[in-house]
Amino acid sequence: MTKVLEKNHTKSAENQSEERNEGLPFNTKFFDGINVNRSAVERRVNTLTGRRSVKKEYQAAWLLKAISMIDLTTLAGDDTRGNVIRLCEKAKNPVRYDIVQKLGMEDANLTTGAVCVYHNLIPFAKEALEGSHIPIAAVSTGFPAGKNSLEEKISEIKKSVAAGATEIDIVISRDLVLESKWKELYDEIKLCRQACGDAHMKTILATGEIPTYTKVAKASWVAMMAGSDFIKTSTGKESVNATLAVSLVMIRCIREYCELTGIKVGYKPAGGIQKAKQALDYLILIKEELGNEWLTPTLFRFGASSLLGDIERQLEHYVTGSYSAGYRHPMA
């Protein structure tokens, strides 16, 4: 394969050390003055896809990078041990070997960034991923609605960590955002962060249920101040999930937080990202707004269940010139 692929591919096996976000004391001065211009945000992202395009071997390289940043997810009501084991095998071998060979990437140890499951399925994921470097992420705190008590949320986090999860995706109490109860939101997230211990915490804002970009920005700031390692758009269960517009709002908050503290907080768009072209749009947005430092699994993840299948189809098209039927690609 070309040097372009070698240059741009990032192995998810490389657990690059980033200084963890210990947060800041609560202070509304950091976000009181925020007032997001909706039309300007949407104008910015609407021009993105027309101005930027990645083709041929460069597109293949970016898609390989995208694979290394996927939290391969199954969060269905009918999940079983068999589903999780199949998902984990796909995480360890995300692209068919014949395609990997034609790309010249058979020695790259390409895997997804993590596997994401419900709490009760952690033992099955741990069994299936034994001997690999792939992290186990567990959704917690009453996912997806987050309507259980704070005590139950803390208990659930601790149980997931004890079961083997190294990443915890929490959901916030959306009513605290809607009612602008920022100190209560900060305290809730702070306690969740303490319960995570050494496990990294991704805080899901459920932006589809937050009515304004201004509140999304303020919630992002509170989540980072409370010690979130990542901020995440959605559970995937809302009627509106990740969008480029809400992503722009959130990653500019990340940029400002980094400028203030020197700490890099990660970003995870989730829900509705199903096509390779969408993944490229998000990667381009991250590159333009945050820079190459964020183009790594330690600072950027996709929450997705079907994205990998389309990326694999696009890679097969690149090496063969033809699109294959969906059934030729194992579970993604």
SS3 label, residue 241: coil
SS3 label, residue 25: coil
pLDDT band at 332 (very low <50, low <70, confident <90, very high): low
Whole-prediction pTM value? 0.93
18-41: average pLDDT: 95
181 is catalytic: no
Q: Would you list the DSSP string of 193-240?
A: HHHHTTSEEEEE--GGG---HHHHHHHHHHHHHTT-SEEE---S-SSS
Active-site annotation holder among 71, 169, 229, 281: 169
Reported as a single tens digit per residue, the pLDDT across 275-305 is 999 999 999 999 999 999 999 999 999 999 9
H-helix or E-strand containing 268? Answer: strand 266-268
Chain Cα centroid distance, residue 227: 17
Reported as a single tens digit per residue, the pLDDT across 61-111 is 999 999 999 999 999 999 999 999 999 999 999 999 999 999 999 999 999
Provide the pairing of β-strand 266-268 with 167-171: unpaired
169 is catalytic: yes
32 is catalytic: no
Superfamily of domain 3-11+27-322: Aldolase class I (3.20.20.70)
User: For the chain, what's the residue count?
Assistant: 332
pLDDT band at 331 (very low <50, low <70, confident <90, very high): low
Reported as a single tens digit per residue, the pLDDT across 194-244 is 999 999 999 999 999 999 999 999 999 999 999 999 999 999 999 999 999
Q: How far apart are CA 74 and CA 71, in angstroms?
A: 10
SS3 label, residue 270: strand
> What are the backbone dihedrals phi and psi of residue 9, each rounded to the nearest 5 degrees, phi first?
-75, 130
Active-site annotation holder among 65, 218, 232, 264: 232
Residues 126-157: b if buried by 16+ CB within 10 A, e if exposed? bebbeeeebbbbbbbbbbbebeeeeeebbebb
Take residue 33 and report the two structure tokens written for it: 């003055």
Cα maximum dimension of the chain? 56
Active-site annotation holder among 65, 268, 281, 310: 268
